[in-house]
Amino acid sequence: MAENSTKENIRKKVRGKLKQLSGKEISEKSRLIIKALLAYERWQKANVVMCYVSTGLEVETQELIAEALKSNKKIVIPRCDLNIEKMTPYLIENLKTDLQKGAYGILEPCEKVKPYEGGIDLCILPGVAFDRKGHRLGRGKGYFDKFLSRPEYSRAYKIALSFEVQLVRKLEVRDHDVIMDRIITEKNIY
């Protein structure tokens, strides 16, 4: 109980910091983060990239997804099934026509898009808070942790996109929590 309470306190504190960022600040910081990611060797070498579609107070990813499509990378977007609490990857070809509002109001692949069944080289993840050791605190449902624990996806290189205000000194982790390989912020790569 205390651990969940601590996690909720961290989420509340970090969300408070995020709410203090203006839309302009979010866009400017997002551009710096995406620029660093595009220059990163793992991005350049990846053929298949799974990426979240950003909402509100997250690092903006729409331009990143458009860039991936333009550079002929296979871009995979997750869709959540709330009934079984499972995330499934879908290969999209068009940012505007292949997505619709889905679970939690997040843009997800629409019904005409087929599930992707191949391997994933690079997974770009969101989160609420991170520490510099690569630990990630998500929204609390564990979708990404469960997904990345599956044998076929466990070897994907994991990069979290984060604003510096989302970094905390230390996060408590459990055995099932997936650790990020890198965290990219507007100021640094951890």
Q: Is residue 92 part of a domain?
A: yes
> Which residues 6+ apart lie within 8 Å of 186 measured at CB?
28, 29, 30, 32, 33, 163, 164
Whole-number pLDDT of residue 18 = 97
Q: Is residue 133 part of a domain?
A: yes
Confidence bin at 4 (pLDDT 50/70/90): low
Quote the domain boundaries for residue 78.
2-184
Q: Is residue 77 part of a domain?
A: yes
Q: What is the pLDDT of residues 127-177, one digit of tens each?
A: 999 999 999 998 877 889 889 889 899 899 999 999 999 999 999 878 778
Q: Is residue 189 part of a domain?
A: no
Q: Is residue 15 part of a domain?
A: yes
Q: What is the pLDDT of residues 38-88, one digit of tens each?
A: 999 999 999 999 999 999 899 999 999 999 999 999 999 999 887 777 899
Residue 104, domain CATH: 3.40.50.10420
Say whether pTM exceeds 0.95. no
| C-beta separation of 38 from 51 below 8 A | no
**Domains in the chain, number:** 1
Q: Is residue 190 part of a domain?
A: no
| C-beta separation of 17 from 164 below 8 A | no
| C-beta separation of 137 from 129 below 8 A | yes
Longest dimension (CA), the chain: 47
Whole-number pLDDT of residue 94 = 94
